[in-house]
A and B are shown apart, each in its own frame.
Chain A
């Protein structure tokens, strides 16, 4: 039922009326022709109806708080309540983004320290916290690469190289920044094809975007040769921080030779995904790109006062990326997470994320599943390919994914990366216990059995959720994007 179906003319949540008496339309007489004459069209419901409706809606969601959520590349780890609680302290919630510096030292001190922590864990020289999501961090990073070449008058560099396994945002970002995308093939072992890369680089190369571990779930062993190859050709290296959780405390992108990276704080630093956002995508840079960082960043004067650094301090900045200064509330949660973990906790993240992934990969292999890269160590995630199951029983990776929902597990990422057929990309994260992983393996074992004996059960799943499979074709053909007026 829609909230509009609860609506009745004249019903109201009266406690929310700010001036039930004494506010009359005459007060708006000065607006003249500007006045709105048409109805607002919001629902008219009681407070209890609102609370009950949205509580009931919430119960139709899967969530980390309810289920194991092994979504590859998404790092669905536990979101600590303590971090949420401190970001919700009234003084932080009520701070206006344009408050004078004298009334901002509390927030600015947290942001400044977070910048330093992020520099430390990534091995970069400077950090800007302003990008509001991973994709915006990518945009900032590639825009800095462009600004760098332009500043040097190196205007022929129009190509961004992207491994074919890359996340879709990488090529989309390169295009948004005015570049042409050139894809580099990946070997059957999951590494970037170094010979193809060497053949592709040249005076047109602006940079290479990659993530390590790659989206194939393996560590790119030749990363130093790749960095040398791109740098020698005059290009820069972009690190997509989507998979930073795998190496936190073990390897730093700065040490691998990257010039710029973004970090998905909603993955690695455990801030909530919120049903699809908000994210937060700070960027870190090495010496070459530090002059181009997006503004504002936070600096500290000699007297210990924190202040915003803007174009006066960073004259070659690529500019502003948000109305104010990024997703501050998310940055506070990430800061809190870093303080709770501390250096020793930070060092264990990558270790236990990797232990869980390798244990799960080994267990699934024992249960008869085919790993896409069997000879390789799993990193924080790994790929199972179901192409033989699809051939034999016409049960696809999507069918396995949907059937898992019936068993109370969120599905892994399906059909990504695109180059592995019928794949599931599985990432357990470090916050899941052995027992939880064993339960997941048992469900996968059961589904495999079902696929052999009763494939229809799997291909028509899910059977126990609020809806069965939805008609996506109808959704796109008979567009219904809002409740019709009078409906």
Chain B
């Protein structure tokens, strides 16, 4: 009711023009026995003011003082200008840019996004994004099976230290097309993949490497990429875009680089917001561009020769190819791409590098403090980017519960995620955490471990 502008007079005039007595008569083709009964679950409408009050209350229930949760979604500072611009109606309420002449803003912005993603990953081409990091990986697997002409196989070898949710999502999406996911074990000491993987890659379509891995650690991507190359398998890199300001981009792994790079774009100016909407980015070698799913924007010229931007290579997509399309996807995460593009422009090279460095030094500082607590150790050896697994002397989920009651979310208790990791806590630090925050974390962690010990 609140957004329908019709006056009683409008309605009468419109009905008169159509030649029906009332609105109900417009539904006379619908069989009478199908007409819906009144709604029983939807309450009466409320005003915007009442809604705001209700939602303020509910949002308050979920507030915490301080969070060290990561595991695929990271709390970064978002410059004020990002969502001020993204919130403009011209971005927010535009449709998919099918009418290119009326969508040059969105189209050029996506072209700039594609550019930034290829630079950050050191890959040749990028698409306009898919739903999120996990579905980007599922699409990359399907793409690798189509693209690999050396190993014609439906086997994908997946690093065992990949985010378990990513593996689960990929399984849901690719199993119906007959793809088989094989999991490579990781070293229990380092959390990274074990030595030679060449045998496992024999006749596989692709190897999936997570960099950083789910535990925050850094696998030997050069070695793995070269091994995959000699086995004829493509390399799919799952990467964190912030980390790429500091660690080797997938295009530079090994002698030839990764073939496909995907990841979660949320760290680039997108709020945590309970898990979405985020954006999944996808980049690849030039030679595979026609196997890439999703929208792609190209630069061209108009009839007067001036540059313009348009959707291109649409013959890959469902609205043209129907059953023969590369994917059924028909959206990209346009608004989130807008946020990420503005975020990357504002931070620039040095800004993003500082975010990454600050986060990296923060997790190292937190690890040092936490490991001074009796019984707390770093679960895996070797460097990390901005996340690490701490082994606690007690069940980590009990510690999480107690720290949360004090307003601090200390990270993710891994008991429900990885077998045998009941005492492990996955902790993330970003540039948003100060030395005082880390100090508060360490002190509270020490106290709560003692409390848990006392109650056991």
Contacts and interface: CB of A to CB of B under 8 A. Distances in A.
Interface string B70-113: 01110101010101110111111111110111111110110110
A173 B339 CA distance: 29
Given A77-B3, A94-B63, A342 B45 contact: yes
Contacts of A434: 6, 10, 13-14
B333 interface: yes
Contact of B115 (A4, A80, A85, A358): A4
How many chain B residues sit at the interface, stated as a range, is 35 or more
A351 B271 contact: no
5 contacts: A36-B246, A173-B328, A431-B4, A466-B101, A479-B298
B47 to A, nearest CB: 8
Interface string B126-141: 1011011111000000
A23 interface: yes
Contacts of A135: 318, 328-331
A71 interface: yes
B62 A105 contact: yes
B90 A475 contact: no
B420 interface: no
B42 A277 contact: no
Interface stretch (B196-204, B343-351, B443-451): B343-351
Contacts of A443: none
A288 B308 CA distance: 50
Contacts of A221: 29-31
Given A250-B36, A323-B163, A480 B101 contact: no
Given A3-B345, A66-B89, A276-B331, A362 B173 contact: no
Interface residues of A, number: 200
Contacts of B35: 250-251
B151 interface: no
Nearest to A77: B3
Given A33-B222, A321-B172, A64 B131 contact: no
Contacts, number: 669
A57 B102 contact: no
Given A92-B62, A97-B272, 16 more contacts: A16-B348, A19-B357, A27-B357, A30-B383, A42-B348, A47-B79, A50-B345, A66-B90, A74-B95, A91-B60, A249-B39, A275-B97, A377-B28, A434-B6, A470-B308, A476-B313
A334 to B, nearest CB: 12
Interface stretch (B117-125, B153-161, B183-191, B226-234): B117-125
Nearest to B325: A172
A95 B13 contact: no
Given A92-B59, A169-B318, A410 B99 contact: yes
Interface string A327-358: 11110100010111111111110011011101
A107 B272 CA distance: 13
A392 interface: no
Interface string A464-487: 011111111011101111110100
Interface in B213-252: 218, 222, 244-249, 252
A132 interface: yes
A472 B310 contact: yes
B455 interface: no
A294 B171 CA distance: 13
A171 B15 CA distance: 38
Contacts of B38: 343, 347
B255 interface: no
Nearest to B343: A16
B4 A352 contact: yes
A63 B44 contact: no
B89 A63 contact: yes
B430 to A, nearest CB: 9
Nearest to B166: A323
A274 B34 contact: no
Given A121-B42, A405-B99, A17 B351 contact: yes
3 closest Cβ pairs, A-B complex: A342-B45, A324-B275, A41-B119
B278 interface: yes
A328 B104 CA distance: 29
Contacts of A134: 330-331
B80 to A, nearest CB: 9
A478 B310 CA distance: 13
B5 A346 contact: no
Given A31-B383, A78-B3, A345-B45, A95 B62 contact: yes
A328 B272 CA distance: 10
Which of B30, B116, B296 has its CB near the most chain A CB atoms (within 10 A)? B30
Contacts of B6: 352, 355, 433-434
